[in-house]
Structure 1
Amino acid sequence: MKKRTSLVLALGLTMGTVLPITAAANTISENVTVTKEAKQFGKDVKVNWKTGQAVPSFVHGKLSTKAHKNKDSIKQFLKENKELYQLDADKDLTLLDVETDELGSTHYNFVQSVQGIPVDGAKFKVHTDKNGMITVVNGDVFPEAYSYFKGKLKAQIAQAGALDKAWKSIHVTKAETETNAEAGPDGKKFEDTVENADLVVYKKDNDFYLAYKTTLQFIQPYPANWVVYVDAVNGNVLDSYNAVNDAGSGVGVLGDTKPLNTYLSSGTYYLYDTTKAMTGVIETRTAANSTSLPGNYSVDPDNNFNATSQRADVDAHYYAGVVYDYFKNTHNRNSFDNRGATIRSTVHYSRNYNNAFWNGAQMVYGDGDGTTFRALSGALDVVAHELTHAVTERTAGLEYQYQSGALNESISDTFGVFLDKKNYLIGEDVYTPNKAGDALRSLSDPGLYGQPDHMNKYVNTTADNGGVHTNSGIPNKAAYLTISKLGTSVAEKIYYRALTVYLSPKSNFKDARSALLAAAADLYGSGSTQYSAVASAWTQVGVN
């Protein structure tokens, strides 16, 4: 691991509306830079820098000396501090939305753009407290992008051409992925293959490209949520990865009786729950050991789903409702998109399938082979894991590769523990059912199952999208240390706020620490026991 000389960066900001920041930086790995706090005017200002980036990714503290209570004031603040972020607030930043939360804090969410075209992953957020004072500025922006393009940006290939290139690059045709989905009791049909292409500016290594960001979602011949970047000028594939969120954990069908919310139509009862305060429904289907999604509805003639073949269906349906209720009652979140979206599950996927996953549209569960796994759909922590992937997708949008991908996995594991509560293990009830005490992962002791628990053990690999299921052990350990110190009811509030307010697509472990500290400061104060516990947890795993 290469070390670099510690540097001191002095940022003189104009007009006295933001405090000057001095940061001394040192690295703890090739891709993680940690900055030490500097005290100004009696307040701590913390600044995070990522190696190779010209703009800080997270600044937290008392950043303004006057209130900013609307988007025009926020843009004026950014103009006055152009020296720091090197962007024109009017031309380079597009305001996506403004949200005020239950604490009275307001969050201004921007995306960086070049000639009106969004820079992929370049989310930029400005946060004020209830008094309008700016407390956090975070996200990833790339001012150097503007020097890469001369003249007007114009795609040389059409959207349809980009999609064709994307399909060819994964060696699957769209026709090979399409199935005939059954309509539900409401008459609606589910689209099982989804394709999309949006024009973006894409950063790869140190270069920028005008590209189509294409997404290809399908279930056969294998589960996929492909993200493929196609050069919009010459049609070359710049990058690609399969972003299917793989939980690999769960509990078996244990024979316990559960109440179900069902739907009666034409004398048949469906696992179709319309009782929640949502626009959509909670529905459960079966693939009947095929790979066709979403499959047929799980039904019963007498509303007593007690057949052995129905047990996976019952658990998937019941636990989806439990997870919905958790997010609604604990965090006031209405389904994974906070707009009441339908929560769809399909069980009995394929034969002896040892997995469960969120594919960008729904949850899918295999029955296991009886040796490696029991049926995976029965686990509360599995369902929580999958639906948390959906929440993450709709909020922080953590890219499913390298450190951001490991955070994505860790957050799903952590919310699985928040809901399951009985221990810090993942998958212990279904993994290797003939071997007592075994599990897939442990938040309290990641090393038991081959995961690192400290940055000095970080695994540099290109496998598994950069080790998302391996290096998640580091933030998992930090989560365990936080929960064990503060308890679930406090920790879950901090984690939810960090996920939905402060994390962004390219957040790394250092950003996660800052996001959680900012959330703890919002909820309990920067001098609180809760704040100190979060800081200590991340320090103990080497993210200082």
Structure 2
Amino acid sequence: MTRIRQHVRGSRRLTTTAGVALTTATLLTVALSPAAHADPRPTRAAAIQNAASALLAHAAGLGLTSAESTSVRDVIVDKDGTQHVRYDRTYRRLPVLGGDFVVHLKKDGSYRGADRATRSTISLASITPEISAPKAADLAVNALRAVHLGNALKQVKAKPELIVDALHGTPKLAWRTNAVGRDSLGNPVARTVLTDARTGRQIDAWDSIETAAGDGQSLYSGTVPLQTTPSGSSYNLTDPTRGGTYTGDAANQTDLCIFGICISRAPATVFTDSDNHWGNGTTSDRSSAAVDAQYGTNMTWDFYKNVLGRNGIAGDGKGSFNRVHYGNSYNNAFWDDSCFCMTYGDGDGTTFGPLVALDVAGHEMTHGVTSKTAALTYSGESGGLNEATSDILGTMVEWYANNPSDPGDYLIGEKIVKSGFGKTALRYMDQPSKDGNSADYWSSSVGNLDVHYSSGVANHFAYLLAEGSGPKTINGVSYNSPTYNGSTVTGIGRDKVAQIWYRALTVYMTSSTNYAGARTATLNAAKDLYGAGSAEYNAVAAAWSAVNVN
């Protein structure tokens, strides 16, 4: 519990909304209103229709058969009208892990190409498992207990879901089981276990609690502006200008979830205030942590909208909400797709303080963006990229905020760590190994590391791409970033790094993207944004080579 993690109960369930089957009957009809003609770019619905036509024409090339169906997960329409439609797929109605792909369309809607998570053709002799669901549940429970040795778990439950695993070699029938429980303090623990449905062999496993106009006095960011909602003679900490985002008090309670379904949740009682001046800057006022959480949400929302053009976490303009004071001395913060909410513990006071710092908010909420776009699988190299995405873009949120009490830096979680943690930050982007665990450079074994440590390769890449190699002092913080090949890397600036990484995430990466794939994705993004052979394109290539990704 000493790392910022993502909590994604339900986020890996492949949705079946907006489904596009491989028949002409499913092509969407588009009725353009007069207002739609004001913008020459295709509408979202038009992009989906164009992609559906492309699926029919290129089904074989995409590995689609009559046994498979698809559903739209996300749509990106570039300023020049180029379209990118992201799909999940099912096989004989079973979700396919690693079945996702992105269809790329030209301005006129014609097919340009596709990026696929895996290229294996799915052809199973049977979808009847030889390992029963109860047996799969038992195996997952044992796997959860095995990673919490010495901590007596309570209320342990597991619910298997039959899927097709196309992510780990030849497609096979598998059980994806979410095992959940509570630790000795009553805080939630969870692990997702992937089991071969024929042999019972564990294929993979990963943590699924992962580890983000009044004014307020915050714990970490000084006095900050807040948009609130009048309610009678008082005010609610609800921001109507950012999709209705709000912050509530969890009252030191926790969620009770079984089989991935929450029977009861910790409350999120919206904070109220009589004079619209919130908190006192210390933990003696429960509203102080709420100020940090709401401010972090605001800055993350603004960064994605004003810098990257994304309207909310899901891109639909809808706000999330925050819960603070969750659990007892809870050393964690997490994003949860199933409630579309951010949750913060108060920390134990020795290792961590309240986990409501600005870069933590940006980190965790970015997990929500990743879930809605590339959905990078939370294990192996893709898991490291998932964590790195949150570190990279969460850091960009901190720089965007330009807050004098928490100036931008390339340290992760520096505001929340206490003396008992033994280090000045959770992670260091200029030289990740300074935390004692993270990888500075890629190697063939990096995917075996915990995802919070394998993320170091991409964090190091992003720092080098932004600031360059060698010693320097930025905003009063000293950095000294080495390179694997002894090269000198010249940075292109944070803003361009944010644009390149975000486009790579939302347009080119898929659930199975590894470090080699991330190099290709970011080069494609740099080419789109700045041109092939541009200084930015060449810098991306040089920065990846500097962390041994070639």
Query: Would you say same fold, with TM above 0.5?
Result: yes
- In structure 2, relative to structure 1, the CA distance for the partners of 1:225 and 1:499 (3 Å cut) is farther
* 1:543 alignment counterpart: 549
Deviation at 1:429, TM superposition (A): 2.4
> 1:41-71 CA deviation, whole Å, 9 max, x = no partner?
xxxxxxxxxxxxxxxxxxxxxxxxxxx9654
* 1:397 alignment counterpart: 375
Alignment map for 1:66-85 (pairs within 5 Å): 71-73=52-54, 75-77=56-58, 79=60, 82=61
1:384 lines up with 2:335 in the alignment: no
Residue type of the partner of 1:138? D
Residue type of the partner of 1:427? G
- In structure 2, relative to structure 1, the CA distance for the partners of 1:112 and 1:516 (3 Å cut) is same
Tell me if the contact between 1:245 and 1:359 (Cα under 8 Å) persists in the aligned partners.
Answer: no
> 1:446-505 CA deviation, whole Å, 9 max, x = no partner?
1222222112495464xxxx4101111101011112222121222211111111111111
Deviation at 1:130, TM superposition (A): 3.0
Q: Secondary structure at the match of 2:326?
A: coil
> 1:309-361 CA deviation, whole Å, 9 max, x = no partner?
22111111122111112112222222211123441212122333332222334
Question: C-alpha separation between the residues in 2 aligned to 1:205 and 1:491?
Answer: 31
Tell me if the contact between 2:54 and 2:110 (Cα under 8 Å) persists in the aligned partners.
Answer: no
Tell me if the contact between 2:253 and 2:266 (Cα under 8 Å) persists in the aligned partners.
Answer: no
Alignment map for 1:98-177 (pairs within 5 Å): 99-130=76-107, 136-143=113-120, 145-146=122-123, 149-150=124-125, 153-154=127-128, 176=155
Tell me if the contact between 1:231 and 1:238 (Cα under 8 Å) persists in the aligned partners.
Answer: yes
- In structure 2, relative to structure 1, the CA distance for the partners of 1:324 and 1:460 (3 Å cut) is closer
Residue type of the partner of 1:483? A
Q: Secondary structure at the match of 2:98?
A: strand
Deviation at 1:531, TM superposition (A): 1.0
Residue type of the partner of 1:261? Q
Q: Secondary structure at the match of 1:414?
A: helix
* 2:35 alignment counterpart: none
- For residue 303 of structure 1, the aligned residue among 247, 251, 276 is 276
Question: C-alpha separation between the residues in 1 aligned to 2:52 and 2:541?
Answer: 32
- In structure 2, relative to structure 1, the CA distance for the partners of 1:339 and 1:541 (3 Å cut) is same
Q: Secondary structure at the match of 2:507?
A: helix
> 1:390-418 CA deviation, whole Å, 9 max, x = no partner?
11011110111111111011110101221
- In structure 2, relative to structure 1, the CA distance for the partners of 1:519 and 1:459 (3 Å cut) is closer
* 1:246 alignment counterpart: 211
The alignment's C-alpha RMSD in Å is 3.8
Tell me if the contact between 2:131 and 2:198 (Cα under 8 Å) persists in the aligned partners.
Answer: yes
Alignment map for 1:243-392 (pairs within 5 Å): 243-246=208-211, 253-254=219-220, 256-265=222-231, 267-276=233-242, 278=243, 281-291=244-254, 293-297=265-269, 298-307=271-280, 308-309=284-285, 310-360=287-337, 361=339, 362-377=341-356, 379-392=357-370
Question: C-alpha separation between the residues in 1 aligned to 2:439 and 2:51?
Answer: 44
* 1:425 alignment counterpart: 411
> 1:30-51 CA deviation, whole Å, 9 max, x = no partner?
xxxxxxxxxxxxxxxxxxxxxx
1:508 lines up with 2:514 in the alignment: yes
Question: C-alpha separation between the residues in 2 aligned to 1:354 and 1:345?
Answer: 16
Tell me if the contact between 1:516 and 1:534 (Cα under 8 Å) persists in the aligned partners.
Answer: yes
> 1:237-258 CA deviation, whole Å, 9 max, x = no partner?
86543222226xxxx8147222
Q: Secondary structure at the match of 1:283?
A: strand
- In structure 2, relative to structure 1, the CA distance for the partners of 1:73 and 1:206 (3 Å cut) is closer
Q: Secondary structure at the match of 1:479?
A: helix
Tell me if the contact between 2:381 and 2:446 (Cα under 8 Å) persists in the aligned partners.
Answer: no
Question: C-alpha separation between the residues in 1 aligned to 2:234 and 2:316?
Answer: 29
Structure 2 stretches lacking a partner, 5+ long: 1-48, 149-153, 213-217, 256-264, 400-407, 468-490
Question: C-alpha separation between the residues in 2 aligned to 1:114 and 1:435?
Answer: 47
Tell me if the contact between 1:399 and 1:505 (Cα under 8 Å) persists in the aligned partners.
Answer: yes
Tell me the TM-score normalized by structure 2: 0.69
- In structure 2, relative to structure 1, the CA distance for the partners of 1:344 and 1:166 (3 Å cut) is farther
- The range that moved more, 433-442 or 482-491, is 433-442
Residue type of the partner of 1:124? F
Residue type of the partner of 2:348? D
Question: C-alpha separation between the residues in 1 aligned to 2:132 and 2:549?
Answer: 44
Question: C-alpha separation between the residues in 2 aligned to 1:529 and 1:538?
Answer: 14
Tell me if the contact between 2:140 and 2:177 (Cα under 8 Å) persists in the aligned partners.
Answer: yes
Tell me if the contact between 1:494 and 1:516 (Cα under 8 Å) persists in the aligned partners.
Answer: yes
- In structure 2, relative to structure 1, the CA distance for the partners of 1:436 and 1:505 (3 Å cut) is closer
Question: C-alpha separation between the residues in 2 aligned to 1:399 and 1:519?
Answer: 21
- For residue 525 of structure 1, the aligned residue among 531, 537, 544 is 531
* 1:471 alignment counterpart: 454
Deviation at 1:128, TM superposition (A): 3.3
Residue type of the partner of 2:72? L
Question: C-alpha separation between the residues in 2 aligned to 1:374 and 1:268?
Answer: 29
Deviation at 1:206, TM superposition (A): 4.5
* 2:173 alignment counterpart: 210
- In structure 2, relative to structure 1, the CA distance for the partners of 1:458 and 1:154 (3 Å cut) is closer
- In structure 2, relative to structure 1, the CA distance for the partners of 1:108 and 1:350 (3 Å cut) is closer
- In structure 2, relative to structure 1, the CA distance for the partners of 1:290 and 1:89 (3 Å cut) is closer
Tell me the TM-score normalized by structure 1: 0.70
Question: C-alpha separation between the residues in 1 aligned to 2:54 and 2:332?
Answer: 49
Tell me if the contact between 1:371 and 1:433 (Cα under 8 Å) persists in the aligned partners.
Answer: yes
* 2:442 alignment counterpart: 455
Residue type of the partner of 2:424? D
* 2:405 alignment counterpart: none
Residue type of the partner of 1:529? A
Question: C-alpha separation between the residues in 2 aligned to 1:418 and 1:376?
Answer: 18
Question: C-alpha separation between the residues in 1 aligned to 2:54 and 2:379?
Answer: 36
Tell me if the contact between 1:169 and 1:237 (Cα under 8 Å) persists in the aligned partners.
Answer: no
- In structure 2, relative to structure 1, the CA distance for the partners of 1:433 and 1:135 (3 Å cut) is farther
Q: Secondary structure at the match of 1:368?
A: coil
Structure 1 stretches lacking a partner, 5+ long: 1-67, 178-192
> 1:163-214 CA deviation, whole Å, 9 max, x = no partner?
8996797579xx959xxxxxxxxxxxxxxx9x98754212485554434545
Question: C-alpha separation between the residues in 1 aligned to 2:71 and 2:347?
Answer: 46
Question: C-alpha separation between the residues in 1 aligned to 2:221 and 2:103?
Answer: 50
- In structure 2, relative to structure 1, the CA distance for the partners of 1:135 and 1:255 (3 Å cut) is closer
Tell me if the contact between 1:370 and 1:433 (Cα under 8 Å) persists in the aligned partners.
Answer: no
- In structure 2, relative to structure 1, the CA distance for the partners of 1:196 and 1:338 (3 Å cut) is farther
Tell me if the contact between 2:324 and 2:344 (Cα under 8 Å) persists in the aligned partners.
Answer: yes
